[in-house]
Amino acid sequence: MIVIAILNTKGGSGKTTLSINLMRALQYLNYKVILVDTDPQGTLRNWHASGGHTLVNLIAMDRPTIDKNIHAINNEFDIVLIDGAASNHDLMRSALKAADIVLVPTKPTEPDIWGSSPVIELIKERQDFVGKPYASFVITCRNGKAKDQIAAREAMNEIGIPCLDGMTTNLVVYHRGFSTGKTVFDSTDDKASKEMMAIANEIREIIENGENKLAGTARK
């Protein structure tokens, strides 16, 4: 069982959107996935309650004991996908302790990248301490201008955490899924679902071929 935590101290960075859609993309790659809603606001639970979807496994853990409670999850699942809460450091620390992989969704602007520094500090602290989790940025909500995305990647590189090649574009289909309880895979336009599959394939690569990445220090 691999635990992937989607974390960023900054609210609105795209954590829940990535959790919902990455869950479905990983299912398409034949992984059995369970979502963990750690946000006391229960955004993921609200999404689930708005219905319209099938094959969703979802539990809530919004106390800072995620690292302990995660062991109660049935081993039949291949991937536990944790949707992080913003600005609650205790919850974030316990998610970090539980995680093998951390994804940090970040919009590609400097204020957004700077805004992620509290979670980056916690990740680096943890990596220095126990040599994991493997961590990577994921660019979300990009506007399609290549130069903005390149500048963002440079800024992330300076921070010393890699960035996935896959990213999400600012598309209404991501936004719409929230109120309708859908994922981007329910849309007839496949642009967003292709973006999600690219991200999921990178995750698969990390899981299957990245044992040294997962076990060792990912920091450069």
How remote is the C-alpha of 131 from its chain's centroid? 20
CA-to-CA separations, 91 to 5, 41, 72, 86, 124, in angstroms, rounded: 11, 13, 17, 9, 17
- Per the CB < 8 A criterion, the answer to whether 92 and 63 are in contact is no
- Per the CB < 8 A criterion, the answer to whether 5 and 95 are in contact is yes
When asked if residue 52 is in the footprint of ligand ADP (CB under 6 A), the reply is: no
CB of 81 to Mg ion, least distance (A): 13
Residue from 17, 27, 127, 183 touching ligand ADP (CB under 6 A): that is 17
- Per the CB < 8 A criterion, the answer to whether 85 and 92 are in contact is yes
- Per the CB < 8 A criterion, the answer to whether 84 and 5 are in contact is yes
Residue from 134, 137, 174, 185 touching ligand ADP (CB under 6 A): that is 174
Amino acid at 44: L
- Strand (E) or helix (H) holding 117: helix 117-130
CA-to-CA separations, 42 to 84, 93, 171, in angstroms, rounded: 11, 19, 23
When asked if residue 94 is in the footprint of Mg ion (CB under 5 A), the reply is: no
CB of 141 to Mg ion, least distance (A): 14
CB of 215 to ligand ADP, least distance (A): 28
To 5 degrees, how large is the angle CA 61–CA 136–CA 105?
A: 60
When asked if residue 9 is in the footprint of Mg ion (CB under 5 A), the reply is: no
When asked if residue 13 is in the footprint of ligand ADP (CB under 6 A), the reply is: yes
CB of 15 to Mg ion, least distance (A): 5
109-148 footprint of ligand ADP as x/- string (CB under 6 A): -------------------------------xx-------
- Considering the complex, state which of residue 140 and residue 213 has its C-beta at the smaller distance from ligand ADP: 140
Residue from 10, 15, 107, 126 touching Mg ion (CB under 5 A): that is 15
What residue ranges bind Mg ion (CB under 5 A)? 15-16, 43
Residue numbers at the binding site for ligand ADP (CB under 6 A) = 8, 11-17, 43, 86, 140-141, 168, 170-171, 174-175, 178
